[in-house]
């Protein structure tokens, strides 16, 4: 509950502090510089809370190093998007017409709006830490980037996006949700071992149903599903391998 509350406050502050900057698309606003300080403040609050609350489940009570780094990097780059000319940001996006392997990575750190950033970072804060604790941090970031790369590439390939671009960490985040499901992560609620993995599974199934309709709504549904399926495979194989080790 503490983690969820802090994640919610984080999302509200993101929206409030970045709204003016996103609307103006210029660097003359103090909200840019205040928002740069937001992530380390919130991250420190997570860590401080985790040290003070002894009865909170260790698997979800505090944020983990790679998750902190990813949130900070995404938030910093988003502010750079607002400050820098679009000609600098555009080459980081991915499309079939201008494909290069480095864009498989760079497109995952570009977001179209504060809502886009907020949604992805909230889910990252919720599902990222318990996954990172089950594996090495290096493995976590590699799997995160693999899910995002596969999801992004399949989106432009299957959609035939020669000029339209793909951006955002959504396929990476859905990949983490998939890993969460593949690992069948559960949490104790009182004496009940609640199957927490059913929650992200619901959103993955819902996204899969939406993708079947081939909706042209500007959202990368194929990327989401591809990232999630990649994550499920990774999570399942990881759990099976480590348990038989």
Return averaged pLDDT per consecutive 10 residues of the chain, 245 residues in all: 50 54 49 53 53 44 82 87 81 80 90 85 89 90 95 86 78 94 70 74 86 74 92 91 66
Q: CA 113 → CA 49, 110, 222, 223, distances in Å?
A: 29, 9, 20, 18
The CA-CA-CA angle for residues 154, 160, 166, to 5°, reads 60
Residue with tokens 């909230």: 122
pTM above threshold 0.75: no
- Its domain, for residue 88, covers 2-243
Counting the structural domains of the chain, the total is 1
- 8 Å CB contact between 222 and 155: yes
Report pLDDT digits (tens) over 132-160: 988 888 999 999 999 999 999 998 888 77
Paired tokens of 202 = 């619901």
CATH number, domain containing residue 33: 1.20.1540.10
- Provide CB contacts within 8 A for 21, sequence distance 6+: 29, 31, 32, 35, 79, 82
pLDDT at 54: 42
DSSP one-letter code for 99: -
Report pLDDT digits (tens) over 158-187: 877 566 788 889 999 999 999 999 988 765
pLDDT at 214: 64
């Amino acid at each position: 509950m503490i983690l969820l509350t802090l994640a919610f406050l984080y999302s509200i502050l993101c929206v409030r502090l970045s709204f003016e900057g996103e609307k103006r698309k210029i660097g003359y606003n103090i909200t840019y510089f205040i928002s740069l300080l937001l992530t380390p403040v919130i991250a420190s609050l997570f860590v401080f809370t985790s040290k003070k609350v002894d009865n909170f489940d260790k698997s979800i009570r505090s944020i983990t190093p790679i998750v902190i780094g990813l949130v900070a990097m995404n938030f910093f780059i988003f502010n750079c998007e607002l400050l820098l000319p679009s000609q600098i940001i555009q080459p980081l996006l991915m499309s079939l017409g201008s494909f290069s392997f480095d864009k498989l990575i760079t497109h995952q750190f570009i977001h179209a709006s504060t809502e886009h950033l907020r949604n992805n970072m909230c889910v990252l804060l919720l599902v990222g830490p318990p996954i990172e604790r089950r594996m090495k941090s290096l493995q976590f970031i590699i799997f995160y980037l693999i899910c995002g790369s596969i999801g992004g590439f399949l989106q432009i390939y299957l959609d035939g996006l020669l000029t339209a671009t793909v951006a955002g960490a959504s396929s990476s985040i859905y990949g983490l949700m998939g890993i969460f499901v593949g690992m069948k992560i559960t949490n104790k609620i009182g004496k009940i071992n609640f199957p927490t993995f059913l929650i992200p599974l619901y959103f993955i199934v819902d996204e899969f149903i939406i993708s079947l309709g081939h909706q042209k709504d500007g959202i990368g549904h194929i990327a989401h599903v591809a990232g999630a399926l990649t994550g499920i495979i990774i999570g399942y194989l990881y759990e099976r391998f480590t348990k038989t080790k």
